[in-house]
Structure 1
Amino acid sequence: MRRRLNGLLGEVFDYNLLSQNCEHFATFVRYGVALCNQIPLHKDKEQRRATQLFQDIIAQKTVSTKF
């Protein structure tokens, strides 16, 4: 959890109710999967998109801090 939180700390995200909201962020930090159970439709597609976005940001920071 700490690695995911620190990897996203300081980032600014565009809020989107369906694909990138506070529940997506919180579940990603806690479980590693950005999930929002309040969205009834297209949940899988939005979950994958938000999870990938968060993972990419963390990976980019991890690579840049190794050098």
Structure 2
Amino acid sequence: MVAEEDINLTLSYALHLLSFLATLGKQKDLVTTFDAVQFQSLVDFITVNSKDDIRVTFKNGMEIKA
């Protein structure tokens, strides 16, 4: 069943990406201001470990240190 779980996870990521791209495609210009809808379509959660260690985890599982 691990393969089925991997497939479901991949499909979930793809749906999130398609949703974001659809939202982005509706933009007429470059994004120059904060947009809560775009932010929520990309970011899963933010972890603040300390003042110098803030991490953003995206809905696709990728994590970056901010």
Question: Which structure exhibits the higher relative contact order, with contacts defined as CA atoms closer than 8 Å and separated by 6 or more residues?
Answer: 1
Higher-strand-fraction structure? 2
| TM-score computed with the length of structure 2 as normaliser | 0.31
| TM-score computed with the length of structure 1 as normaliser | 0.31
Tell which structure's C-alpha radius of gyration is larger: 2
